[in-house]
A and B are shown apart, each in its own frame.
Chain A
């Protein structure tokens, strides 16, 4: 499987939310009390209108002097209510922040681990930036919704309920008037929100394009400068910047139109309430204070309406975030660790057997077919063949970075998929062609192969690989910072580090996938000789770019078009007409300069 399981994309919003909440138990714990606190805090918002109403109706009779004592006690009670609701708001906030942050931190970690558990094919089928955002930005969107949007939704809903209830106590007729004004607005806002969220989606896409354009001007700097392609790059960036700006402007225009409509609707509702209230009041159905309180209560409708579009946007983003995180968690690692039930192989020389193995990438043709071979313990095997002949696929199956589609790979007689990863990764280590380095020191990168190894052990390992001179040539030795992805080192040096890292891990089977392709010949030969020494007693499989590696091997496996077409020792193969002899001749000509292109060009001078 090279794609993530995106069934979450097709399920309903509530189903996503339910599953999302199910995997964050820390959030659900105690949420009921938090909601109760939120509702009590909401009640604080109607204290002001009630105080105004009480003052006007009871403290300020239409004729005669105010009842100051009544007003004083009413104000005191209201003040107390405000203090209580503020306290509830504080407690609610603290609880909410703690529960959401705790649950989302563990969700992040869960998703992170799952990404590493996914098979190499699934991982490489994804853009790295996309995977990163699933444990960063997507989780942030969920947290923003839980802490602001979701909370606001609760508070707004609570506010509308409480305000409506209070209004209904004062006058059901006027309540109806207010609702008739706001319900169409709410429906219209839903429509606007869709437009706005689509507009912001466009903004996000454009910003992604913009970043890609900018990153070309940074990462491609050497090529841009070597070919004086500045104008072309600048034009591309300008285009992306302008497209981004236009999208932002459009989205902003929509928001600017939508946001104040609730002000106008509220004003119309207020005007209607004034008119209706006066008519009702003349009939004696409502008091003056109640009518004035109504005017204050109408303003409480405005902010939920204004925030509704933002809340809906956030809700949508959060659902999308959940879906992307669930997309990771829903994806089964198709090359799975059998876990504690699996086999643990004892340390010692390891033997491998391929039995009629075939492999094909998903919806691709077979790249390996009918491969049957036995690699005895302690054998030193070289794998050769042209680009695309299946060498690297063979190495990936051997180290269980992928599983075959047919046939079986056995290690010491045990099917590879039944061996625990902990045991497998300890015994079999591959050095890939492009050894990734972490942004730390040289020493730490080598130590990555065996955590806890001392500096002395690392120096010794480099020495055993014949790399002591190289280390001594580095001004800061093991403390040399390697830079992001190891960029401060040359391609060849990065390979040396990757090799040392794998060697320090002390595996029983070492697989080298063109691990020294960027290293100069003298160093390569020196490493080769050192490897011959240190791999004695272990099994080794080397995919050879340069055939000098093959000459020293116990056996050579020659791949052609996904099959092993020849095998045997160099001395036997080189004299037999066939793929190996051809490869060897061509390599020899290239590396020794014999029989290659005619030397020298006739210069005009």
Chain B
């Protein structure tokens, strides 16, 4: 466990605090000023009380005369100091909080901006859960020490004022104080040193409990259908018990240190009484001074611990900050050129010698294809042959390691930002819908007239069910469009692509959840659009739509040409696309042979 207050963590932690102060100088300045006011007034309140005891209470008890003027002045002083102190507390709390929230907001925005800026290749290398926690809990952790920071700075002022005020009273008494407060501070340091790795561990185990629960509930159907409830409960119980033990360990440390830290100032007061009475006897101080110092000790014991709170948050803060920094410092934002595409007609696409891999697995090994304007090319290949990867390279979601993609003859890397998206639309295999209205999901940033949206919906065969939604185009779809069926989601995603009148349309198995009849209607409609089309497909009807077929085998183009040509010359291709017909033929043959033997028997069974 590295989350310990080592000198290095302390150094890094202070640097993080420095960043915070430089970013939010105004709120920091205001909160520290308020905190200093609070610190000064805390010491002043003890001084006022000492003077009230010395000049009002004791003389009154000695003389039997209330001394109304002094009494009123004393009471007024007590209230006045308290009002100033309260103002200090309020200001400190408000601006410290504001500083923390401003920082959180700023870095949440920056992290998300960076997500939007970084290319998909970077996203693919980082788990979703990690990216989400970078923007939420890591940002929070990074700025966690900000809330107690002004208080801690104020306490430094407070200790300074206290030291001065006690020194002004009596040196030997001051020594008691100078022994006591460093002792509290040191003990607090020791406390945080022991505690913070244990807290960090508990924190980590808490995250694990949450992960196990999340995964287990998400896979609830699998757990249920395979009857694994008990095994899953055991897995969760093991995590919950590890967390329990870690929390109990934290509790034991807290349980030990808290009473000791609370008792120390009480012992301090007793020491002051003991030594103070001797000094009183010697005539060095008066009773009011003694009360003042005792009161100061009771007031200071709590704030002094705030130094420890900042320290306690530092390791977490450093870890959070480093994670946030890693996102903000990530390089490899996609470089863009300045070229633009102005042709209003269907796009020409050329992809050459593309190589691409995820980690150590190379998915594309020199694949390429070309689409003449207005033509349709089908990408055909077995599961895992690299079709989706190729599709994502064509619209420059990722850049190839080697090779080039050209749109209208221009390398897509030379195009200005947004140019590829303006010319080409990809409909991915996994549909993603925003938590927005139907209109918002289709128009996205553009301001499309309703007529265009309806035209796109009609083309995608989605107009029927959208018209049936309670608020039509303005129906909110909820989280990831959870209210719709898979086929409906796919049709909306298709409409989203069609609504922008793309000059190149890339369909990555985009109608797999749509019924064949509906798919046929969609594909029929597509023929009338002014676009070049690349379509990843299994269904022969879709393939038959294409002018050319590119057959991918393990990341390489095995063959290309018209469907009929490939059927004629490539046994692998034949085997792939004719699989159903072959199977059908075999079944028919088997059925023929079996007819006489047992088909009647089965019929009887079934009808019984």
Q: Is the CB of B129 within 8 A of A484?
A: yes
User: What's the minimum C-beta distance from B262 to chain A, rounded to whole angstroms?
Assistant: 7
Q: Which of B112, B273, B298 contacts A71 (CB 8 A)?
A: B273
Q: Which of B241, B383, B582, B606 contacts A567 (CB 8 A)?
A: B606
**Central interface residue in B131, B496, B516, by most chain A CB within 10 Å:** B516
Q: Which of A59, A249, A268, A277 contacts B97 (CB 8 A)?
A: A249
Is residue B11 within 8 Å, beta carbon to beta carbon, of the partner chain?
no
Minimal Cβ-Cβ distance residue in B for A549: B583
Q: Give the chain B neighbours of A485 by CB distance below 8 A.
A: 218
Q: Give the chain B neighbours of A228 by CB distance below 8 A.
A: 417-418, 420-422, 445
Minimal Cβ-Cβ distance residue in A for B288: A292
User: What's the minimum C-beta distance from B476 to chain A, rounded to whole angstroms?
Assistant: 13
Q: Give the chain A neighbours of B244 by CB distance below 8 A.
A: 101-102, 104-105
Q: Is the CB of A135 within 8 A of B213?
A: yes
Q: Is the CB of B277 within 8 A of A55?
A: yes
Q: Give the chain B neighbours of A268 by CB distance below 8 A.
A: 79, 82
Q: Give the chain A neighbours of B479 by CB distance below 8 A.
A: 127, 212
Q: Is the CB of B583 within 8 A of A449?
A: no
Q: Give the chain B neighbours of A519 by CB distance below 8 A.
A: 383
Q: What is the predominant secondary structure among interface residues of chain B facing chain A?
A: helix
Q: Is the CB of B581 within 8 A of A605?
A: no
Q: Which of A475-512 contact B (CB under 8 A)?
A: 475, 483-485, 487-488, 490-493, 496, 498, 501-502, 505
Convert A431-455 into 0s and 1s, putting 1 for each residue whose CB lies closer than 8 angstroms to a CB of B.
0100111110000000011010000
Is residue B345 within 8 Å, beta carbon to beta carbon, of the partner chain?
yes
Q: Is the CB of A256 within 8 A of B97?
A: yes
Q: Give the chain B neighbours of A470 by CB distance below 8 A.
A: 383-384
Q: Give the chain B neighbours of A374 by CB distance below 8 A.
A: 606, 608
Q: Which of A72, A132, A220, A249 contacts B98 (CB 8 A)?
A: A249
Stretch at the interface among B99-107, B156-164, B173-181, B306-314: B99-107
Q: Is the CB of B89 within 8 A of A604?
A: no
Is residue B326 within 8 Å, beta carbon to beta carbon, of the partner chain?
no
Q: Is the CB of A109 within 8 A of B220?
A: no
Given contacts A105-B240, A270-B78, contact A296 B136 (CB under 8 A): no
User: What's the minimum C-beta distance from B240 to chain A, rounded to whole angstroms?
Assistant: 5
User: What's the minimum C-beta distance from A309 to chain B, rounded to whole angstroms?
Assistant: 12
Q: Which of B251, B388, B417, B430 contacts A101 (CB 8 A)?
A: B251
Given contacts A55-B277, A89-B259, contact A116 B540 (CB under 8 A): no
Q: Which of B220, B260, B383, B590 contacts A523 (CB 8 A)?
A: B383
Q: Is the CB of A388 within 8 A of B485?
A: yes
Q: Is the CB of B544 within 8 A of A60?
A: no
Is residue B584 within 8 Å, beta carbon to beta carbon, of the partner chain?
yes
Q: Is the CB of A226 within 8 A of B83?
A: no
Q: Give the chain A neighbours of B232 by CB distance below 8 A.
A: 112, 116
Given contacts A109-B237, A117-B229, A448-B222, contact A132 B251 (CB under 8 A): no
Minimal Cβ-Cβ distance residue in B for A582: B517
Minimal Cβ-Cβ distance residue in B for A108: B240
Stretch at the interface among B14-22, B120-128, B401-409, B456-464: B120-128
Q: Give the chain B neighbours of A531 by CB distance below 8 A.
A: none
Q: Is the CB of A448 within 8 A of B606?
A: no
Stretch at the interface among B58-66, B191-199, B466-474: B58-66
Q: Which of B60, B136, B373, B554 contacts A603 (CB 8 A)?
A: B373
Q: Which of B113-148 contact A (CB under 8 A)?
A: 113, 115-117, 119-120, 123, 127-129, 131-132, 135-136
User: What's the minimum C-beta distance from B445 to chain A, rounded to whole angstroms?
Assistant: 4
Q: Is the CB of A593 within 8 A of B579?
A: no
Is residue B534 within 8 Å, beta carbon to beta carbon, of the partner chain?
no
Q: Which of B61, B109, B273, B435 contacts A212 (CB 8 A)?
A: B435
Q: How far is the CA of A308 from the CA of B347 in the complex (A)?
A: 69
Given contacts A136-B209, A260-B89, A597-B520, contact A245 B102 (CB under 8 A): yes
Q: Give the chain B neighbours of A266 by CB distance below 8 A.
A: 82
Q: Which of B221, B270, B543 contacts A75 (CB 8 A)?
A: B270
Is residue B256 within 8 Å, beta carbon to beta carbon, of the partner chain?
yes
Q: What is the predominant secondary structure among interface residues of chain A facing chain B?
A: helix
Q: Which of B89, B101, B258, B583 contacts A525 (CB 8 A)?
A: B583
Q: Give the chain B neighbours of A473 by CB distance below 8 A.
A: 384, 554
Q: Which of B53, B226, B240, B358 contacts A501 (CB 8 A)?
A: B226
Q: Which of A136, A222, A567 contacts B397 (CB 8 A)?
A: A222
Q: Which of A85, A87, A245, A401 contacts B224 (CB 8 A)?
A: A401
Q: Is the CB of B545 within 8 A of A599?
A: yes
Q: Which of A70-93 contact B (CB under 8 A)?
A: 71-72, 75, 78-79, 82-83, 85-87, 89-90, 92-93
Q: Which of B102, B225, B269, B428 contacts A399 (CB 8 A)?
A: B225
Q: Which of B226-241 contact A (CB under 8 A)?
A: 226-229, 231-233, 236-237, 240-241
Q: Give the chain A neighbours of B206 by CB distance below 8 A.
A: 136, 140
Q: How far is the CA of A261 from the CA of B93 in the complex (A)?
A: 13
Q: Is the CB of A252 within 8 A of B547?
A: no
Is residue B185 within 8 Å, beta carbon to beta carbon, of the partner chain?
no
Q: Give the chain A neighbours of B210 by CB distance below 8 A.
A: 132, 136
Convert A293-318 into 0s and 1s, putting 1 for each residue whose CB lies closer than 8 angstroms to a CB of B.
00110010001000000000000000
User: What's the minimum C-beta distance from B295 to chain A, rounded to whole angstroms?
Assistant: 7
Q: Give the chain A neighbours of B428 by CB distance below 8 A.
A: 222-223, 226
Q: Is the CB of A260 within 8 A of B90?
A: yes
Q: Which of A224-239 contact B (CB under 8 A)?
A: 224-234, 237-238
Given contacts A86-B260, A299-B298, A374-B606, contact A401 B225 (CB under 8 A): yes
Is residue A200 within 8 Å, beta carbon to beta carbon, of the partner chain?
no
Minimal Cβ-Cβ distance residue in A for B273: A55
Is residue A338 within 8 Å, beta carbon to beta carbon, of the partner chain?
no
Is residue A113 within 8 Å, beta carbon to beta carbon, of the partner chain?
yes
Q: How far is the CA of A426 from the CA of B480 in the complex (A)?
A: 34
Given contacts A136-B206, A147-B251, A275-B75, contact A596 B520 (CB under 8 A): yes
Stretch at the interface among A46-54, A158-166, A410-418, A457-465: A46-54
Is residue A601 within 8 Å, beta carbon to beta carbon, of the partner chain?
yes
Stretch at the interface among A170-178, A184-192, A339-347, A550-558: A550-558
Minimal Cβ-Cβ distance residue in B for A49: B298
Q: How far is the CA of A221 from the CA of B291 in the complex (A)?
A: 66
Q: Is the CB of A425 within 8 A of B599?
A: no
Is residue B216 within 8 Å, beta carbon to beta carbon, of the partner chain?
yes
Is residue A30 within 8 Å, beta carbon to beta carbon, of the partner chain?
no
Is residue B372 within 8 Å, beta carbon to beta carbon, of the partner chain?
yes
Q: How far is the CA of A498 from the CA of B62 in the complex (A)?
A: 92
Q: Is the CB of B392 within 8 A of A217?
A: no
Is residue A23 within 8 Å, beta carbon to beta carbon, of the partner chain?
no
Q: Is the CB of B295 within 8 A of A296?
A: yes
Q: Give the chain A neighbours of B45 by CB distance below 8 A.
A: 267
Q: Which of A451, A523, A593, A602 contacts B544 (CB 8 A)?
A: A593
Q: Is the CB of B105 within 8 A of A274?
A: no
Q: Is the CB of B90 within 8 A of A593?
A: no
Is residue B454 within 8 Å, beta carbon to beta carbon, of the partner chain?
no
Given contacts A288-B58, A593-B540, contact A493 B382 (CB under 8 A): no
Q: Give the chain A neighbours of B498 by CB distance below 8 A.
A: none
Q: Give the chain B neighbours of A437 by CB distance below 8 A.
A: 219
Is residue A215 within 8 Å, beta carbon to beta carbon, of the partner chain?
yes
Q: How far is the CA of A229 from the CA of B395 in the complex (A)?
A: 14
Q: Is the CB of B375 within 8 A of A603?
A: yes
Q: Is the CB of B543 within 8 A of A593?
A: yes
Q: Is the CB of A214 within 8 A of B247?
A: no
Q: How far is the CA of A129 from the CA of B426 in the complex (A)?
A: 30
Is residue B328 within 8 Å, beta carbon to beta carbon, of the partner chain?
no
Sample of 20 more A-B contacts, CB < 8 Å, known A425-B226, A523-B382: A60-B277, A66-B280, A108-B240, A135-B236, A217-B115, A219-B432, A222-B120, A233-B116, A264-B83, A268-B82, A422-B227, A470-B383, A475-B360, A522-B575, A525-B583, A551-B583, A592-B540, A592-B541, A597-B527, A600-B545
Q: 9 A-B contacts, Cβ less than 8 Å apart?
A: A66-B281, A226-B425, A226-B428, A227-B425, A233-B116, A267-B45, A590-B541, A596-B520, A597-B523
Closest CB pairs A-B (n = 6)? A97-B251, A425-B227, A93-B255, A267-B82, A593-B544, A596-B541
